[in-house]
Amino acid sequence: MNNLKQVVLLFLFCVAFNTVVLSQESKTKHIVEIKNMKFIPSELTVHKGDTVVWINRDIFPHDVTELKNKAWSSSVLQPEKSWSKIISESEDYYCSLHIVMKGKVIVN
Ligand SMILES: [Cu+2]
């Protein structure tokens, strides 16, 4: 009887563990490069919960700031610095240092 309990518990543990591991594995990391005054790619489609990493490949600073309300911002990113954000909804963003630089993350 005790043995059966242990087997059942072990089984439940494995199911729970797999669920956690698999749901973590399904999250993807996406890279957006900032290069020649552009976000590349400027439009990126992700799944809810994915991480987007912005990397500044220019020789001068940029930032990544939410477009409509400035709800969030990377603050100034010096060359070769990166910043990441977990994306839960579609976002329009821009560089507040160079307002012509715009990008979009779309949650599919
Ligand atoms: Cu900029």
Token readout for 68 is 């409509």
Distance of CA 25 to the CA centre of its chain: 14
Give distance in angstroms: CA of 69 to centre of ligand 1: 18
Q: Is the pTM of this model over 0.85?
A: no
DSSP-derived 3-state class of residue 99:
strand
Give distance in angstroms: CA of 46 to centre of ligand 1: 23
The model's pLDDT over 58-102, given as tens digits with 9 standing for 90+, comes to 999 999 999 999 999 999 999 999 999 999 999 999 999 999 999
The model's pLDDT over 15-44, given as tens digits with 9 standing for 90+, comes to 565 555 555 557 899 999 999 999 999 999
Give distance in angstroms: CA of 89 to centre of ligand 1: 23
| Mean pLDDT of the residues in the chain | 88
Query: Which residues surround the ion ligand 1 when the cut-off is CB under 5 Å?
Result: 62, 95, 97-98, 101
77: β partners:
62
